[in-house]
Amino acid sequence: MTSPRYKRILLKLSGEVLMGEGGLAIDPAVTARVAEEIADVKAEGYELCVVVGGGNIFRGLAAAAKGFERGTADYMGMLATVMNALAVQNALEQIGVDTRVQSAIPMQSVCEPFIRRRAERHLEKGRVVIFAAGVGSPFFTTDSGAALRAAEMNCDALFKGTSVDGVYDADPKKVPDAKRFETVSYDTVLARNLKVMDASAIALCRDSNIPIVVFNIREHGNFAAVLRGEGTSTVVQK
Ligand code: UDP
């Protein structure tokens, strides 16, 4: 049974969720497990968009701090997201989920370019559409790419799959009694600089009134459970 609130959702995956213990940037077994979580949700009838980050391979800001020119570094980061998108596509297709990758940077031998109406058609046909290369411009992040795609694809919610089970009032790794929010407003997230997504992504979701559901995607079955209203998460909303 699908959630009565959400029909079409966008899943944002940080590149890091594809990493394994052995230091592989893209661990095939870990990627396969993430694909299973996506397939389980797809099987319940949701229309699903996916945006993948690239932080497991390359981050423009970090590279710029070490001397790279920022624009070039950011393009390298965007290319990293395309590699991750292909890895997720591969893992999904190996378990029978029909997918398309669309990149904000056209790369026609590799995947489709981003064309909104074409993406719409893929979703209608039951395909999972994986959006790569963020917004296609440097000085942005894939969080902003996720918020933008969620808005233009008319998604009912943006699910942010991470390695923590929600948003806390302090870093739970440093502050033992940090409290997890069940719900928190966009404005509180921005005012308190809570670590959810970058500010431009939060503002875009706020302006389009798209709830952001932060949950742990590494926990087996959790994505589907959160959608059923059972798992642990934090919802960022008005
Ligand atoms: N990036 C960019 N423009 C975008 C999206 C991403 O320049 O629209 C670059 C940026 O350098 C970023 C890198 O791609 O550091 C990888 O994306 P991100 O850090 O968002 O990945 P995540 O943290 O989600 O794994």
In this prediction the ipTM stands at 0.98
In the numeric block, the tokens 């296609």 are attached to 136
Residues with CB under 6 A from ligand 1: 14-16, 53-55, 59-61, 73-74, 77-78, 80-81, 134-135, 137-138, 140-145
Task: Flag whether pLDDT at 140 surpasses 70.
Answer: yes
CA of 3 to the centre of ligand 1 (A): 30
The whole-number pLDDT of residue 168 equals 95
The whole-number pLDDT of residue 139 equals 97
Question: In the chain, what is the greatest distance between 2 CA atoms, to the nearest angstrom?
Answer: 51
Task: Flag whether pLDDT at 1 surpasses 70.
Answer: no
Residue-wise pLDDT tens digits, 142-181: 999 999 999 999 999 999 999 889 999 998 888 989 999 9
Q: Superfamily for 8-237?
A: Acetylglutamate kinase-like (3.40.1160.10)
Residue-wise pLDDT tens digits, 41-92: 999 999 999 999 999 999 999 999 999 999 999 999 999 999 999 999 999 9
Residues tagged in the binding site annotation for ATP: 12-15, 55, 59, 162, 168, 171
What ranges do the domains of the chain cover? Answer: 8-237
Closest CA to 202 of 113, 191, 138: 191
Calculate the CA dihedral of residues 109, 110, 115, 116 and round it to 10 degrees. 160
The whole-number pLDDT of residue 58 equals 97
Strands (E), the chain: 8-13, 47-52, 99-103, 112-113, 128-132, 157-162, 183-185, 212-216, 233-237
Q: Whose CA is nearest to atom 14 of ligand 1?
A: 77
How many Å from the N-terminal Cα to the C-terminal Cα in the chain? 26
Task: Give pTM, 2 decimals.
Answer: 0.96
Task: Flag whether pLDDT at 3 surpasses 70.
Answer: no
User: With DSSP H G I counted as helix, E B as strand and the rest as coil, what are the percentages for the chain, rounded to 5?
Assistant: 40, 20, 40
CA of 80 to the centre of ligand 1 (A): 8
Of 81, 152, 214, best ligand 1 pocket probe by most atoms within 8 Å of the beta carbon: 81
Confidence of residue 115 (pLDDT cuts 50, 70, 90): very high
117-146: average pLDDT: 98
In the chain, % of residues over pLDDT 70: 98
Residue-wise pLDDT tens digits, 190-213: 999 998 999 999 999 999 999 999
